[in-house]
A and B are shown apart, each in its own frame.
Chain A
Amino acid sequence: MPQDIILKMENITKRFPGVLANDRINFDLRKGEVHALVGENGAGKSTLMKILYGLYHPDEGTIYININGELKPVKFKNPQDAIKHGIGMVHQHFMLVYGLTTLENIILGYEPGSVIDFGKARKKIEEIMNQSGLNVPLDVDVEFLSVGQQQRVEILKVLYRQAQVLILDEPTAVLTPQETEELFGIIRNLKANGHSIIFISHKLHEVMEIADRISVMRKGRLVHTMPKSEATKEKIAELMVGHPVLLDVPKPEIEPGETVLEIKNLTVPSDTKGVMAVNNVSFYIREGEIYGIAGVEGNGQAELIEAIYGLRQPAGGDIIVHGENITGKPTHIIREKGVSHIPGDRHKFGVFLPFTLADNGILGHHREEKFAKWGIFRKFSNISSWAMEIIKKFDVRTPSEKVPMSALSGGNQQKFVVGREISFDHTLMIAAHPTRGVDIGAMEFIYRQLFEEKKQKKAILLVSADLDELLLLSDRIGVMYKGKIIKELDNTQRQVTPKEVGYYMLGGDVEHEDEQIAAGGEENVQ
């Protein structure tokens, strides 16, 4: 048995200001196993793995590595040390350098010689690709690889450095169900070749499928480790949260009303000249409906939203809100017509981190008479009370509205943004990845808020990379592929399955694509 164990983390403790991230964790990994590490956001899984990978140093505790049959204590000063001991990390957010080729990315930091011997590197990589079944073009700028390919490059990076232990951090977060199956195949292959894998995830059905052992973390402690035979989804969820969990929020039954948003034959250009990101798309959303857009990132969803929100000029077609054609109008007009938007990346698009909550609360409407006399002279007391309303109604934890946005936690920042967008007068809400980077408590809160919007007869356009979220919230789901909505699925009874969506996300039945679009088009036009 002991020879089986190739690494062991004993009594690992790590503190950050205000938070005990890892509390006396005991974790071990056996050779040739897939050991899943589960827990919600903020449970401490990432921290633990970063310690294993040498990015953090533990305050207490020891790491043991199996060297020649014996478990010896080691100290990792940096990732280089960890790599030398055969530990490789495949990050959730890919660490690939755009502008460099696949080959260059793989050898970066581990180059054969000060003057790079490209021939030698190429040979070694090709060998690894054959062994593992991971195939990617080597001389292309990684920027142009698909998400699935990029992930394979990340794995190749790790294998190139002769890792025996692979840490996969939320690897399926960006994959379609089909790509996930492919990944599992690769994992099984790696197992067969003697590698051991730590699989971090919060997707319980995947963990159930691929893991040999499952360890659950909660609030910095490792609460339980069990073999797959003992595990059920409910048991894992209960351990994750600490109490029996209702895995979904009840969806209110609402009779849809009038059409709020109508998209007719919309075509939107991409950043590349001559290429259309959105290609003749048509759909509609009614009062009280949540319309979800599914699709692998990069198939036109972002451009579609930008066009509706006035940030990108359509090349053709119409965008109609409450009967009024607003195609091509600028953002502030569109907001005036009753459109609110929760942007997909709050730090980049949604807030100004150094600004106070008060200033962040009126974005997009700061020229209204309510907040500025003649649209010019700011009415500070009105601005303040508006922010205070949002803070109160949406459970934003902060001492005051005068605090800078950067001082809030991610969940509270998002709650504020969601609250702000809901509070403005609107009939259409565009929600893009509304719970990205948000802990489970705030997630649940935001879902309830969206359902409240539904009850208020608002129309919601939801774009999300999280399939579970889409299936939980949407009444209808439009799947985007290469700029078209190739299939619209009815989800009013939550009857759609992930496999179904995944099938269309990858293009569906390409031969009959045109038939489907024609059929879909007729269904969509009222």
Chain B
Amino acid sequence: MSSKRSNNFKYFLLSLVAPVGGILISALLLFILILLIRKGSLSDTIQAFYIMWKTLTSKQDVGYIIARSEPLILSGIAAAIAFRAGVFNIGTEGQYYIGGLLGAVYAIYFSFKSPSLHWLNVILVIVFSMIGGALWALIPAILKVKKGVHEVITTIMMNQIAYTTAKYFVNGPMSGLKGGESLEPKTMNFPAAVDFKRLYDIFHGHFPFPKYIPLYESLFIALIVVVIAYIVIYYTNWGFELKMLGTNPNATKYSGVPPKVVIFNAMLWSGAIAGIINLQEIFGIKGYYTHHMTGGLGFDGIAVALIGYNNPIGVVLAALLFGFLRTAGYNLQFELGIPNSTMDLITGFIIIVMVIASVTMNRYISKLRRKEVLSEAGDR
């Protein structure tokens, strides 16, 4: 019996080889890249890695890391939910543009003005944003379920349409520009009772990070979403059915679970969570909506989900990794002039390396397990 337990531990260790190995290989690539960019200067390269290390230990940098990973956590979870079911929702990008837009609609036209109802405003902003995101996932979901159209193409089309739709509303009916007031096209400012509060203010200054670090109530939202996602995925039948569909749609049918229902729900919930990805920026940092807000969060989230194995804890870790890469990237650019897009490259590279490593390791582990069972059971 103890050999069984030590075997399971052995398999667990083996499964860690992929992410650790992936990161090591990526670090190696980064090393080579920086060396190339700094034209062979080894001292510069080492300094680059030192800067990256400093980023991990400086308080304000850690604050930035957390702030930057917050939207990625949500984006990663949104993508992961769909991916677990084998549904490739690449539309989280468009879904957060529209989600944020609908949240802005609430803020501008329907919100409560009294500060004591701030909590209600926050909840309703979330609700509206989730509805916006889910709505944007609706058409691809219907097309997939009714016509079998592949969701990759439809969701990407919706992304393209989302940007231009948001642009239309910001420049048109919801415009907040009063003749030369600002260079950035934006909606009207939200009422003060809607703006998300800084965590620094909530904790009355008893907060580890300086005030200028953009950490808002939205961080709580992200953490709550992570917890709920974890419970749903691993402890409920909904999560089980997602995994069934992502593993074997045929057997799912035969087990009495209608795949279409699962696909539809997965897409809509994925879209709903995607809707709230960037509330931190819209309602915290800016206080208004603009289609010029940070883009690419949807795609980053997809990468985060893949690197995190579609597991909520993995997503958090991967999001932090990305936050780190981004923050370190800015520091590198600032101090050594190394372009930010290097980090983009590394990101894509990490995905491929990690996925290859994990698939190969999984196959290897399966082979080992099979051998173990066959020899132990004496194949009959």
Q: Tell me if chains A and B make direct contact, with any CB pair below 8 A.
A: yes
User: Could you list which residues of chain A lie within 8 angstroms of chain B, going by C-beta atoms?
Assistant: 17-19, 309-311, 330-332, 334-335, 341, 343, 348-355, 359, 363-364, 366-367, 372, 375-378, 397-400, 402-404, 406-409, 411-412, 439, 441-442
A19 to B370, CA, bound (A): 13
Q: Distance (Å) between the CB of A384 and the closest chain B CB?
A: 14
Contact of A352 among B244, B370, B373 (CB under 8 A): B244
0/1 interface trace, chain B 342-380, chain A, CB 8 Å (1 if under): 000000000000000000000000100111111111111
A332 contacts B256, CB within 8 Å?
yes
* Smallest CB-CB A-B distances: 9 pairs: A332-B256, A397-B377, A407-B373, A331-B256, A363-B255, A349-B254, A407-B369, A407-B370, A364-B255
B370 contacts A378, CB within 8 Å?
no
Contact of B248 among A352, A372, A404 (CB under 8 A): A352
Q: Distance (Å) between the CB of A335 and the closest chain B CB?
A: 5
B237 contacts A406, CB within 8 Å?
no
Beta-carbon nearest neighbor of B3 in chain A: A399
B256 contacts A364, CB within 8 Å?
yes
Q: Distance (Å) between the CB of B10 and the closest chain A CB?
A: 14
A311 contacts B254, CB within 8 Å?
yes
Additional pairs, 5, CB under 8 Å, beyond known A334-B256, A341-B254: A19-B379, A348-B248, A363-B255, A366-B255, A397-B378
Contact of A363 among B250, B251, B369, B380 (CB under 8 A): B251
Q: Distance (Å) between the CB of B128 and the closest chain A CB?
A: 27
A348 contacts B247, CB within 8 Å?
no
Beta-carbon nearest neighbor of B366 in chain A: A406
With A18-B374, A376-B237, A377-B236 as contacts: A330 and B256 at CB distance below 8 Å: yes
A selection of 14 A-B contacts at a CB cut-off of 8 Å is: A311-B253, A348-B251, A351-B251, A352-B248, A355-B243, A377-B237, A378-B237, A399-B377, A402-B8, A403-B373, A404-B369, A406-B370, A409-B380, A441-B380
When distances are taken between beta carbons in the complex, the residues of chain B under 8 Å from A376 are 236-238
B240 contacts A349, CB within 8 Å?
no
A458 to B380, CA, bound (A): 28
B254 contacts A18, CB within 8 Å?
no
When distances are taken between beta carbons in the complex, the residues of chain B under 8 Å from A402 are 8
Q: Distance (Å) between the CB of B230 and the closest chain A CB?
A: 13
B373 contacts A331, CB within 8 Å?
no
Q: Distance (Å) between the CB of B42 and the closest chain A CB?
A: 45
With A350-B254, A367-B237, A377-B235 as contacts: A412 and B247 at CB distance below 8 Å: no
Contact of B247 among A331, A352, A442 (CB under 8 A): A352
A331 contacts B237, CB within 8 Å?
no
When distances are taken between beta carbons in the complex, the residues of chain A under 8 Å from B240 are 359, 366, 378
Please give the number of chain B residues whose Cβ is less than 8 angstroms from any Cβ of chain A in the complex. 32
A359 to B235, CA, bound (A): 12
User: Could you list which residues of chain B lie within 8 angstroms of chain A, going by C-beta atoms?
Assistant: 4, 8, 235-238, 240, 243-244, 247-248, 250-251, 253-258, 366, 369-380
A378 to B244, CA, bound (A): 15
B380 contacts A397, CB within 8 Å?
yes
B369 contacts A335, CB within 8 Å?
no
Q: Is the interface of B mostly helix, strand, loop or mixed?
A: helix
Contact of B237 among A310, A351, A372, A411 (CB under 8 A): A372
Q: Distance (Å) between the CB of A241 and the closest chain B CB?
A: 14
With A355-B247, A376-B237 as contacts: A399 and B254 at CB distance below 8 Å: no
When distances are taken between beta carbons in the complex, the residues of chain B under 8 Å from A18 are 371, 374-375, 379
A354 to B256, CA, bound (A): 19
Name, among B370, B373, B378, the residue most crowded by chain A CB atoms within 10 Å (CB to CB): B373
A346 to B237, CA, bound (A): 22
Q: Distance (Å) between the CB of A445 and the closest chain B CB?
A: 10
Name, among B8, B238, B250, the residue most crowded by chain A CB atoms within 10 Å (CB to CB): B250
A376 to B253, CA, bound (A): 19
A398 to B374, CA, bound (A): 8
With A378-B236, A400-B4, A407-B366 as contacts: A350 and B380 at CB distance below 8 Å: no
Q: Distance (Å) between the CB of A309 and the closest chain B CB?
A: 8
With A350-B251, A403-B369 as contacts: A411 and B235 at CB distance below 8 Å: no
Q: Distance (Å) between the CB of B123 and the closest chain A CB?
A: 24
When distances are taken between beta carbons in the complex, the residues of chain A under 8 Å from B237 are 366-367, 372, 375-378
B250 contacts A412, CB within 8 Å?
no
Beta-carbon nearest neighbor of A351 in chain B: B251
Contact of A409 among B238, B250, B374 (CB under 8 A): B374
Name, among B236, B243, B380, the residue most crowded by chain A CB atoms within 10 Å (CB to CB): B380
A351 to B254, CA, bound (A): 9
A343 to B236, CA, bound (A): 26
When distances are taken between beta carbons in the complex, the residues of chain A under 8 Å from B369 are 403-404, 406-407
Beta-carbon nearest neighbor of A335 in chain B: B256
When distances are taken between beta carbons in the complex, the residues of chain A under 8 Å from B370 are 406-407
Q: Distance (Å) between the CB of A122 and the closest chain B CB?
A: 37
Beta-carbon nearest neighbor of B244 in chain A: A352
B377 contacts A348, CB within 8 Å?
no
A349 contacts B251, CB within 8 Å?
yes
When distances are taken between beta carbons in the complex, the residues of chain B under 8 Å from A375 are 237
B380 contacts A404, CB within 8 Å?
no
Name, among B240, B248, B254, the residue most crowded by chain A CB atoms within 10 Å (CB to CB): B254
A400 to B256, CA, bound (A): 26
A108 to B18, CA, bound (A): 40
A404 to B243, CA, bound (A): 14
When distances are taken between beta carbons in the complex, the residues of chain A under 8 Å from B247 are 352-355
B376 contacts A399, CB within 8 Å?
yes
Beta-carbon nearest neighbor of B7 in chain A: A399
A331 contacts B380, CB within 8 Å?
no
Q: Distance (Å) between the CB of B262 and the closest chain A CB?
A: 13
When distances are taken between beta carbons in the complex, the residues of chain A under 8 Å from B258 are 330-331
B379 contacts A409, CB within 8 Å?
yes
B244 contacts A399, CB within 8 Å?
no
When distances are taken between beta carbons in the complex, the residues of chain B under 8 Å from A332 are 256-257
Q: Distance (Å) between the CB of A344 and the closest chain B CB?
A: 10
Name, among B236, B237, B238, the residue most crowded by chain A CB atoms within 10 Å (CB to CB): B237
Beta-carbon nearest neighbor of B261 in chain A: A330
A354 to B359, CA, bound (A): 13
Q: Distance (Å) between the CB of A80 and the closest chain B CB?
A: 28
When distances are taken between beta carbons in the complex, the residues of chain B under 8 Å from A377 are 235-237
Contact of B380 among A17, A364, A412 (CB under 8 A): A412
A399 contacts B4, CB within 8 Å?
yes
B254 contacts A398, CB within 8 Å?
no
A98 to B8, CA, bound (A): 43
A442 contacts B380, CB within 8 Å?
yes
A331 to B237, CA, bound (A): 17
Q: Distance (Å) between the CB of A467 and the closest chain B CB?
A: 26
When distances are taken between beta carbons in the complex, the residues of chain B under 8 Å from A330 are 256, 258
With A350-B251, A378-B240 as contacts: A398 and B380 at CB distance below 8 Å: no
A348 to B251, CA, bound (A): 6
A378 to B243, CA, bound (A): 14
B244 contacts A17, CB within 8 Å?
no
When distances are taken between beta carbons in the complex, the residues of chain B under 8 Å from A343 are 254
When distances are taken between beta carbons in the complex, the residues of chain B under 8 Å from A364 are 254-256
When distances are taken between beta carbons in the complex, the residues of chain B under 8 Å from A406 are 366, 369-370
